[in-house]
Structure 1
Amino acid sequence: MIVQILKANNGEYMSISIEEKIKRAETRVCKAVFPSTVNHHDTLFGGQALSWMDETAFIAATRFCHKPLVTVSSDRIDFSHPIPAGTVVELVGTIEKVGRTSIRVKVDIFVESMSEEGRTKAISGMFSLVAVDENRKPTPILD
Structure 2
Amino acid sequence: MEEYFNISETRICKAVFPETLNANNSLFGGKAMQWMDEAAYISATRFTRQKMFTASTGKIKFLKPITPDSIIEVIARVIKAGPVRLKVSVQVFSENMYSHDRELAVESEFDMVSLNDKNQPQRIDYSSLQH
TM-score of the superposed pair, with normalisation by structure 1: 0.86
Of 135, 138, 142, 2:118 maps to: 135
Q: Aligned AA for 1:79? A: F
Deviations 1:68-100 (A, max 9, x none): 011110111100100001210000001111010
Count residues in correspondence. 126
> Unaligned regions of 5+ residues in structure 2, if any?
none
**Residue 111 of structure 1 aligns with which residue?**
94
Q: Which residue of 1 aligns with 2:64?
A: 81
Question: Which amino acid is 1:88 matched to?
Answer: I
More contact order relative to length (CA 8 Å, sep ≥ 6): 2
User: Aligned partners of 1:62 and 1:118: how far apart in 2?
Assistant: 32
Does 2:81 match 1:101? no
What is the deviation of 1:22? 0.6
Partner of 1:20: 3
**Helix, strand or coil for the counterpart of 1:76?**
coil
CA shift at 1:140, angstroms? 2.0
Q: Kindly name which structure, 1 or 2, has the bigger radius of gyration based on alpha carbons.
A: 1
Specify the alignment match of 1:91 in structure 2: 74
1:63 and 2:46 aligned: yes
Cross-structure match for 2:14: 31
Gaps of 5+ in 1: 1-17
Runs of 4+ in structure 1 deviating by more than 2 angstroms, as ranges, are none
Rounded Cα–Cα distance in structure 1 between residues aligned with 2:68 and 2:25:
6
TM-score (norm 2): 0.93
Q: Flag the structure with higher strand content.
A: 1
